[in-house]
Amino acid sequence: MTLVSAALGIGVIIALMAFAHIADKSAVEREQALLKNGFNGLLDEHARRPTAVALWDEAVRNLDVSYDPEWTDSNIGEYLAGVLDFDLTVVLDRADAPLYAKWEEDSDALSRIGSALAAASPLVEEVREAERRRGPIADHLREMAGQPPKAIYATSVSQTDFGPMALTATLVQPDFGLALPQTSRSAVLISGEVIDQDFLSVLAERYLLSEATLTAPTAPRLPDHATLILRDSAGQAVALVQWHPQRPGAEMLRLSMPLVFIALTALIILAMRYQSKGRLATERLVASEARVTHLAYHDALTGLPNRLLLVDRLNGALGRVRADKQGFAVHCIDLDRFNEINDSFGQQAGDDLIAEVSRLFAEVCGPGDTLARLGRDEFGILQSNATRESADALATRLIQLTNQPVEIEAGRVFSGCTVGVTLIEDANLDAVECLRRADLALNRAKTAGRGQYAWFLPDMDATLRLRLDVREDLRTAIANGELTVAYQPQVHQGGKLYGVEALVRWNHPVRGQVPPSLFVPIAEECDLISSLGMFVLRRAFEDSKRLGRLRVAVNISAAQFRLSDFVSDVAALVSETGVDVGRIELEITEGLLLGDDRATLQTLADLRSLGFRIALDDFGTGYSSLSYLQRYPIDKIKIDRSFISSLGTDPSADAVVNAIVRLARALRLDVIAEGVETELQRVRLAAAGCDDIQGFLFGKPMSAAAIGALLEGAPSQDPQHHSRTVRLAAS
Ligand code: C2E
Ligand code: MG
Ligand code: MG
């Protein structure tokens, strides 16, 4: 565009200059024509002047009838030189012989006028010709009937020894016929004026020529000057007139050029602006197109490939399996505590976590691998050139990475992850099937307990179907009262039963017992958690009234805890059932306490002010931050089963349990160990100072009636949950 406007500008200038040139040229031509006409006019004027004396009876008498030199000198010579400003005056007789000659002041110049006479001879001839055509003067005068005859003269510019001259030959004729020429030929008067600078200045003044000069025709041409060549009647160059012509075009250019330049510069600047804007717009367009393409294949938050691109890469990898039997692995990864972190800290924290985790994952992926974000907290990895060992190693590494604390703006968090892996060595599969297999493996790993990875096994399809079926069935199960609550005893080291934990049970009409670790997360996923949770609470509240002074612990899922109506629903249930709130313990998990969530703090405070005790379940598996324990109103911690099961076999488990018990003591919190199955574990716990115990060693979860029977000292009637080891102690 700049180029175009520059070219346009140059075009305009060239056009202007051409226009100026043409204007100047025609101005010069006009001045030349003007000058030429003016010159001819002046010549004519000169030529007419001598008529005043040549068309005169007295002149005929004194020049032709009888020549009077004195009269001639005073009436012709003096008059022409003095009055009419002629330089040369010559009188020829009827035979064209010179009678009289005056050159400037010299009245006897006959000897000096040879060249002038020669130059004038064509004019004389012309005059003689006209004289012949006129015929005898007497006849002519008669024809004119008292009018003077027409003047006969010829004039021309000629070169003479005196320089270029305007020469005129005029026939001497009577004006009234008082004297008549003696023959058919009369005398002729030659008058001449040197064409010099003076002569020219008359013209220059009349036609406003500036710097007009008159030189010999061969003189050098002056720059920027117009010229006019004066020629004699034979066409020979006699003199050169040069002058400085008016140049309206040049003048116009001079005046308009600055404006034109300003306009042009402005135009070019504008054009450059537009061009750069245009270029920017084009670049933006290209960039946005690239961005759109990128967006179509990438995740906006992390910049990682999305499912679409992963599928594309999977198809490529399948092609390589076909071509060179190169197997690959697909990993599906799900962050375990994303929802908790996202709900507790807010969406920004969730986003930060995803970004940080994807950075960590990218570091452990090989250069040929593809890491993709498949969903909210779901990632996929195409591990190229993989073997079972290298896939095991990668999955293990991914889990290790997320078990480390991750620093985000909101604080330190542990996200944890679960991975499903499948090794693809069959080129007949398609990309969707590869992903489905890894996803099934992921579901299996989730069901088995998060924080681990599982390989795809062909029987997994069934597991997935089960999960989907369970989701459907759970809804009707809650409505139809298929759920029950079992109670697991909690005892002091001495064996005294002091409390129970309420655990939900689902006896599916077809599937039999469905474990809560399977259906509770499903209830959380599909908005059934509120009705499930309230069902358990209601049953526990009701049953607690029949369980004497036993404390009843109820598990509260994080999803339920965060429901806005939770506290008011519970309060309403308390007044409805008339439960002794002081005997109810609510078990929450560590994930809830993440960060500085005011709402969590408020809910806990509200629950405590209603009279509930708060226990922290599965302690040691999640965040285990001392600061959480200080910040939140907690009454009790439950040491997770995973530490208890390793007691006596793994020294570090003893150390952890010891530390937790000491910590609880220091914070004046109650502490209980769950999952105690062996006497050895019990002894170790006793040694560590852990006085409260829950586990199969003392009793499996059982019906409220069975607990009631225990309390009454009778053996359990519940065949499923009988326990010989509970040492009964009336409370
Ligand atoms: P939890 O709250 O940690 O419950 C303890 C789990 O450990 C129970 O599994 C219990 O049967 C099991 N258990 C107790 N003693 C032993 C032992 O000595 N050895 C072994 N191997 N296991 C033992 P359950 O009933 O399958 O519940 C699993 C989890 O499901 C619970 O873990 C809890 O998180 C959740 N859950 C159970 N009932 C409810 C409920 O009513 N509401 C909510 N929100 N969650 C529930
Ligand atoms: Mg529990
Ligand atoms: Mg637990």
Q: Is the pLDDT of residue 270 over 50?
A: yes
Return the bridge partners of 552, or none.
Answer: 500, 584
Mean pLDDT of all residues in the chain? 87
Range of the structural domain that residue 234 is part of: 2-45+203-244
- Provide, rounded to the nearest whole percent, the portion of the chain with pLDDT above 70: 93
Q: Is the pLDDT of residue 718 over 50?
A: no
Closest of 695, 720, 691 to residue 705, by C-alpha:
720
CA of 625 to the centre of ligand 2 (A): 19
The CB density around residue 429, as the number of other CB atoms within 10 Å, is: 16
pLDDT at 448: 79
Task: Establish if 210 belongs to a structural domain.
Answer: yes
**Identity of residue 470:** V
Largest CA distance in the chain: 193
**427 and 355, same structural domain?**
yes
Q: Is the pLDDT of residue 288 over 70?
A: no
Residue 720 pLDDT grade (very low, low, confident, very high; cuts 50, 70, 90): very low
Cβ-based neighbours of 27, under 8 Å, separated by 6 or more: 245, 246, 247, 248, 249
Q: Is the pLDDT of residue 618 over 90?
A: no
**53 and 37, same structural domain?**
no
Highest mean pLDDT among 14-18, 254-258, 549-553: 549-553
Residue 505 pLDDT grade (very low, low, confident, very high; cuts 50, 70, 90): very high
Range of weakest confidence among 72-86, 261-275, 380-394: 261-275
Q: What is the position in ligand 1's atom list of the atom closest to the CA of 587? A: 2
**625 and 491, same structural domain?**
yes
In this structure, what CATH number is given to the domain that contains residue 498? 3.20.20.450
* Tens of pLDDT, residues 6-41: 787 788 788 888 888 888 888 788 877 888 888 888
Q: Which residue did the predictor score with more confidence, 624 or 56?
A: 56
Q: How many domains does the chain have?
A: 4
- Averaged pLDDT for residues 192-208: 82
Residue 378 pLDDT grade (very low, low, confident, very high; cuts 50, 70, 90): very high
Q: What is the position in ligand 1's atom list of the atom closest to the CA of 502? A: 41
Task: Determine which residue's CA is closest to atom 8 belonging to ligand 1.
Answer: 503
pLDDT at 285: 59
Task: Determine which residue's CA is closest to atom 4 belonging to ligand 1.
Answer: 503
**120 and 155, same structural domain?**
yes
Q: Which residue did the predictor score with more confidence, 468 or 330?
A: 330
Identify whether the C-beta of residue 175 lies closer than 8 Å to the C-beta of residue 141. no
pLDDT at 77: 92
CA of 346 to the centre of ligand 2 (A): 26
**426 and 563, same structural domain?**
no
Candidate from 500, 555, 677 with most ligand 1 atoms within 8 A of CB, to mutate? 555
Identify whether the C-beta of residue 704 lies closer than 8 Å to the C-beta of residue 511. no
In this structure, what CATH number is given to the domain that contains residue 331? 3.30.70.270
- Averaged pLDDT for residues 637-665: 89
* Tens of pLDDT, residues 386-400: 999 999 999 999 999
Task: Establish if 139 belongs to a structural domain.
Answer: yes
Task: Determine which residue's CA is closest to atom 16 belonging to ligand 1.
Answer: 675
Instruction: Identify the nearest ligand to the CA of 515 by its number.
Output: 1
CA of 503 to the centre of ligand 1 (A): 6
Q: Is the pLDDT of residue 279 over 80?
A: no
**141 and 116, same structural domain?**
yes
Q: Is the pLDDT of residue 308 over 60?
A: yes
Task: Determine which residue's CA is closest to atom 41 belonging to ligand 1.
Answer: 504
What sign does the CA torsion over 197, 199, 204, 205 have?
positive
Task: Determine which residue's CA is closest to atom 38 belonging to ligand 1.
Answer: 503
Cβ-based neighbours of 331, under 8 Å, separated by 6 or more: 379, 380, 381, 383, 391, 394, 395, 398, 419, 420, 421, 438, 453
Residue 594 pLDDT grade (very low, low, confident, very high; cuts 50, 70, 90): low
Task: Establish if 273 belongs to a structural domain.
Answer: no
d(CA 87, CA 163): 11
**73 and 36, same structural domain?**
no
Q: Which residue did the predictor score with more confidence, 464 or 254?
A: 254
Phi-psi region of 243 (alpha: psi -120 to 50; beta: other; left: phi over 0): beta
Instruction: Identify the nearest ligand to the CA of 698 by its number.
Output: 1
DSSP state, 341?
Answer: H
Q: Is 485 helix (H, G, I), strand (E, B) or coil?
A: strand
Task: Determine which residue's CA is closest to atom 11 belonging to ligand 1.
Answer: 701
If you count them, how many residues does the chain have?
731
**Identity of residue 106:** D
Task: Determine which residue's CA is closest to atom 43 belonging to ligand 1.
Answer: 555
d(CA 396, CA 377): 18
Candidate from 450, 488, 491, 503 with most ligand 1 atoms within 8 A of CB, to mutate? 503
Identify whether the C-beta of residue 657 lies closer than 8 Å to the C-beta of residue 685. yes
**79 and 34, same structural domain?**
no
Instruction: Identify the nearest ligand to the CA of 517 by its number.
Output: 1
Highest mean pLDDT among 313-322, 495-504, 526-535: 495-504
Q: Is the pLDDT of residue 146 over 80?
A: no
Q: Is the pLDDT of residue 597 over 90?
A: no
In this structure, what CATH number is given to the domain that contains residue 145? 3.30.450
Identify whether the C-beta of residue 99 lies closer than 8 Å to the C-beta of residue 63. yes
CA of 97 to the centre of ligand 2 (A): 159
Task: Establish if 283 belongs to a structural domain.
Answer: no
Identify whether the C-beta of residue 590 lies closer than 8 Å to the C-beta of residue 618. yes
* Tens of pLDDT, residues 657-670: 998 999 899 889 99
Q: Residues lining ligand 1, judged by CB closer than 6 Å?
A: 488, 502-504, 515-517, 520, 533, 536, 555-557, 587, 617-618, 641, 674-677, 695-696, 701
CA of 566 to the centre of ligand 2 (A): 18
**235 and 177, same structural domain?**
no
CA of 616 to the centre of ligand 2 (A): 9
Q: What is the position in ligand 1's atom list of the atom closest to the CA of 529? A: 44
Chain position carrying tokens 């285990």: 624
* Tens of pLDDT, residues 425-450: 988 888 888 998 999 899 888 887 78
Task: Determine which residue's CA is closest to atom 21 belonging to ligand 1.
Answer: 675
Identify whether the C-beta of residue 112 lies closer than 8 Å to the C-beta of residue 154. no
**55 and 29, same structural domain?**
no
| pTM of the model as a whole | 0.47
CA-based radius of gyration for the chain: 65
pLDDT at 34: 80
**655 and 509, same structural domain?**
yes
Instruction: Identify the nearest ligand to the CA of 619 by its number.
Output: 3
Alpha carbon of 445 to those of 292, 376, 448, 506: distances in Å?
36, 18, 5, 22
State both tokens at 302: 């992390």
User: Could you give the angle at which helices 460-479 and 431-448 cross, rounded to 10 degrees?
Assistant: 60
CA of 576 to the centre of ligand 3 (A): 29
Task: Determine which residue's CA is closest to atom 12 belonging to ligand 1.
Answer: 675
**517 and 600, same structural domain?**
yes
d(CA 96, CA 402): 137
Alpha carbon of 634 to those of 208, 466, 555, 686: distances in Å?
116, 37, 14, 23
* Tens of pLDDT, residues 448-466: 778 899 999 877 667 667 7
Instruction: Identify the nearest ligand to the CA of 695 by its number.
Output: 1
Q: Where are the beta strands (DSSP E) in 195-339?
A: 210-215, 226-231, 237-244, 328-335
Instruction: Identify the nearest ligand to the CA of 640 by its number.
Output: 3
Q: Which residue did the predictor score with more confidence, 175 or 574?
A: 574
State both tokens at 117: 């006479």
**Which DSSP string corresponds to 66-125?**
S--HHHIIIIIIHIIIIIS--SEEEEE-TTS-EEEEEETTBS--GGG-HHHHHHHHHHHH
